[in-house]
Amino acid sequence: MNEFALIDRYFRRSPRGDSVRIGVGDDAAVIRPAPGTELVISVDMLVEGWHFLRDADPHRLGHKTLAVNLSDLAAMGATPRYALLAGALPNSEEAWLGEFAAGFFAIADRYGVELIGGDTTKGPRNLCVTIIGEVPQGTALTRGGAKPGDDIYVSGLLGDAALALEAMQQRTRLAPDALEVARTRLETPEPRVALGERLRDIASAALDISDGLTGDLAHILETSHVGAIIELASIPRSSALDGKLAGSTERDLALRCLLAGGDDYELCFTANRALRDRIVDISRSLDLPLTRIGEITAAQEFIVRDEHGTPLPALPRAFDHFAS
Amino acid sequence: MNEFALIDRYFRRSPRGDSVRIGVGDDAAVIRPAPGTELVISVDMLVEGWHFLRDADPHRLGHKTLAVNLSDLAAMGATPRYALLAGALPNSEEAWLGEFAAGFFAIADRYGVELIGGDTTKGPRNLCVTIIGEVPQGTALTRGGAKPGDDIYVSGLLGDAALALEAMQQRTRLAPDALEVARTRLETPEPRVALGERLRDIASAALDISDGLTGDLAHILETSHVGAIIELASIPRSSALDGKLAGSTERDLALRCLLAGGDDYELCFTANRALRDRIVDISRSLDLPLTRIGEITAAQEFIVRDEHGTPLPALPRAFDHFAS
Read off the pLDDT of each residue in B5-19 and give the average, rounded to a whole number.
71
**Phi and psi torsions of B14, nearest 5°:** -65, 140
- Give me the residue from B35, B43, B322 closest to A119, CB to CB: B43
Q: Residue A95 has what pLDDT? A: 86
Percentage of chain B surpassing pLDDT 70? 94
A36 chain-B contacts, CB cut-off 8 A: none
- Residue A324, pLDDT > 50, answer no
Ranges A67-76, A186-195, B118-127, B285-294: which has the least confidence: B118-127
- Residue B318, pLDDT > 60, answer no
CA distance B263 to B162: 7
- Residue B287, pLDDT > 70, answer yes
For B225, other C-beta atoms within 10 Å of its C-beta total 10
- pLDDT-based confidence at A318, cuts 50/70/90? low
Q: Are B228 and B302 in contact (CB under 8 A)?
A: yes
- End-to-end CA distance of chain A: give it in Å, rounded: 41
Read off the pLDDT of each residue in A167-173 and give the average, rounded to a whole number.
93
Q: Residue A26 has what pLDDT? A: 85
Mean pLDDT of chain A: 92
Q: Give which of A22, A43, A85 to mutate to test B binding, by max B Cβ within 10 Å.
A: A43
Ranges A158-162, B87-91, B255-259: which has the least confidence: B87-91
CB within 8 Å of chain B, chain A residues 270-299: none
**Phi and psi torsions of B90, nearest 5°:** -65, -35
**Stronger pLDDT, A3 or A250, i.e. the higher one:** A250
Read off the pLDDT of each residue in B235-258 and give the average, rounded to a whole number.
95
Nearest to B74 by CA among B166, B241, B172, B197: B197
CA distance A275 to A285: 16
Q: Residue A10 has what pLDDT? A: 75
Ranges A117-121, B225-229, B300-304: which has the least confidence: A117-121
- End-to-end CA distance of chain B: give it in Å, rounded: 41
Q: Residue B269 has what pLDDT? A: 98
Q: Are B135 and B76 in contact (CB under 8 A)?
A: yes
Taking only the tens place, the pLDDT of each residue in B54-86 is 889 999 999 999 999 999 999 999 999 999 999
**Stronger pLDDT, A118 or B225, i.e. the higher one:** B225
- pLDDT-based confidence at A21, cuts 50/70/90? confident
Note whether A38 contacts B31, CB cutoff 8 Å. yes
Rounded to a whole number of angstroms, the CA Rg of chain A reads 20
Q: Are A297 and A229 in contact (CB under 8 A)?
A: yes
Taking only the tens place, the pLDDT of each residue in A237-272 is 999 999 999 998 999 999 999 999 889 999 999 999
Taking only the tens place, the pLDDT of each residue in A79-108 is 999 999 999 998 767 888 899 999 999 999
Note whether A142 contacts B26, CB cutoff 8 Å. yes
Q: Residue B324 has what pLDDT? A: 39
Q: Residue B317 has what pLDDT? A: 63
Read off the pLDDT of each residue in A162-171 and give the average, rounded to a whole number.
94
- Residue A315, pLDDT > 90, answer no
Minimal CA separation from A77 to chain B, in Å:
10
Question: Could you tell me whether strands B20-22 and B29-31 are parallel, antiparallel, or unpaired per DSSP bridges?
Answer: antiparallel
- pLDDT-based confidence at B18, cuts 50/70/90? confident
Read off the pLDDT of each residue in B43-60 and give the average, rounded to a whole number.
92
Taking only the tens place, the pLDDT of each residue in B124-158 is 999 999 999 999 999 999 999 999 999 999 999 99
Q: Which amino acid is at B160?
A: D
Ranges A187-196, B87-96, B275-284, B286-295: which has the least confidence: B87-96
- Residue B252, pLDDT > 90, answer yes
Percentage of chain B surpassing pLDDT 90? 78
Cβ partners under 8 Å of residue B67, min gap 6: B107, B188, B189, B190, B191, B265
A35 chain-B contacts, CB cut-off 8 A: 35
B38 chain-A contacts, CB cut-off 8 A: 21, 30-33
**Structure ipTM:** 0.91
Read off the pLDDT of each residue in B33-55 and give the average, rounded to a whole number.
92
Mean pLDDT of chain B: 92
- Residue B116, pLDDT > 80, answer yes
Q: Residue B209 has what pLDDT? A: 96
Note whether B128 contacts A43, CB cutoff 8 Å. yes
Burial of B288 (0-12, 13-18, 19+ CB in 10 A): middle
- pLDDT-based confidence at B48, cuts 50/70/90? very high
Taking only the tens place, the pLDDT of each residue in A32-64 is 998 999 999 999 999 999 889 888 999 999 999
B130 chain-A contacts, CB cut-off 8 A: 41, 43, 84, 130
Taking only the tens place, the pLDDT of each residue in A217-244 is 999 999 999 999 999 999 999 999 999 9
Number of A/B CB contacts below 8 angstroms equals: 235
Side-chain-side CA neighbours of B62 within 13 Å: the count stands at 19
CB within 8 Å of chain B, chain A residues 155-184: none
- Residue B320, pLDDT > 60, answer no
Q: Residue A53 has what pLDDT? A: 86
B21 chain-A contacts, CB cut-off 8 A: 38, 138, 140
CB within 8 Å of chain B, chain A residues 213-272: 223
- Residue A13, pLDDT > 60, answer yes
**Stronger pLDDT, B219 or B319, i.e. the higher one:** B219
The pTM is what?
0.92
Q: Residue B23 has what pLDDT? A: 83
- pLDDT-based confidence at B10, cuts 50/70/90? confident
Per-residue b or e along B58-70, where b marks 16 or more CB atoms closer than 10 Å to that residue's CB: bbbbbbbbbbbbb
B73 chain-A contacts, CB cut-off 8 A: 27-28
